[in-house]
Amino acid sequence: NAGVTQTPKFQVLKTGQSMTLQCAQDMNHNSMYWYRQDPGMGLRLIYYSASEGTTDKGEVPNGYNVSRLNKREFSLRLESAAPSQTSVYFCASSEAGRKNEKLFFGSGTQLSVL
Amino acid sequence: GNSVTQMEGPVTLSEEAFLTINCTYTATGYPSLFWYVQYPGEGLQLLLKATKADDKGSNKGFEATYRKETTSFHLEKGSVQVSDSAVYFCALRPDSSYKLIFGSGTRLLVRP
């Protein structure tokens, strides 16, 4: 049971470099999310996709772009990485985005920007 | 606005001790409330949830009751084990929203 798969697990970038974090789910879920986790701040929503073909900004979207490539895949792109984007990034999915649904999380990508 | 406040950690307990992790929230309407757990090196997993006032969520010996009068959703366990060592996140999902809003997390360390 793969669930939510994120790649890569670790990445080190230099300031100004770009990269794309990949996420795929095999549960036929409609909704997908990108969160970042920083010490003492819990998880904050970057972007979400309620369904294939739609994306919306979360709490902290600046410096990021997303693509919902198809129902399975939701990628997060950093066009010009900054040290403030050093964080652990989690992708998540849920069946339909209903209020009482649980989210399924990937195992995370640890990103360091030097 | 909507927010979640959790007690700061770390919380250090001996095995078989009683656990309480406090969580209070601010929200309009009737949010759903959740506890997620993160084991070292892993993503978050749902531990339990409650969707309306006075509901009690429970799983793996953990319980939490949705208290609207005190806007709280405290996590409790009667007897913790070393394997319960993890970070625990309280979260809420407001009415008509896709956003799951997390507290800052509480690290629990259980010693043998």
A-chain CB neighbours of B105 within 8 Å are 42
DSSP-derived 3-state class of residue A29: coil
- Alpha-carbon distance values, A41 to A81, B24, B39, B95, B103 (Å): 20, 16, 17, 23, 7
Tokens of A98: 């209903």
DSSP-derived 3-state class of residue A84: helix
pLDDT digits (tens, 9 = 90+) for B12-58: 999 999 999 999 999 988 899 999 999 988 889 999 999 999 999 99
- Across the interface, whether the CB atoms of A106 and B43 are under 8 A apart is answered yes
Pick B46's closest partner by Cβ from A56, A59, A102.
A102
A-chain CB neighbours of B94 within 8 Å are 99
pLDDT digits (tens, 9 = 90+) for A32-86: 999 999 987 889 999 999 889 899 999 999 999 999 989 999 999 999 999 999 9
Q: Who contacts A63 (Cβ-Cβ below 8 Å, separation ≥6)?
A: A78, A79, A80, A82, A84, A85
The answer to whether B21 and B103 have CB atoms below 8 angstroms apart is no
Pick A42's closest partner by Cβ from B34, B95, B104.
B104
Q: What is the pLDDT of residue A1?
A: 64
Q: Who contacts B32 (Cβ-Cβ below 8 Å, separation ≥6)?
A: A99, A100, B49, B50, B51, B92, B93
The answer to whether A87 and A38 have CB atoms below 8 angstroms apart is yes
Q: CA of B7: which chain A residue's CA is closest?
A: A40
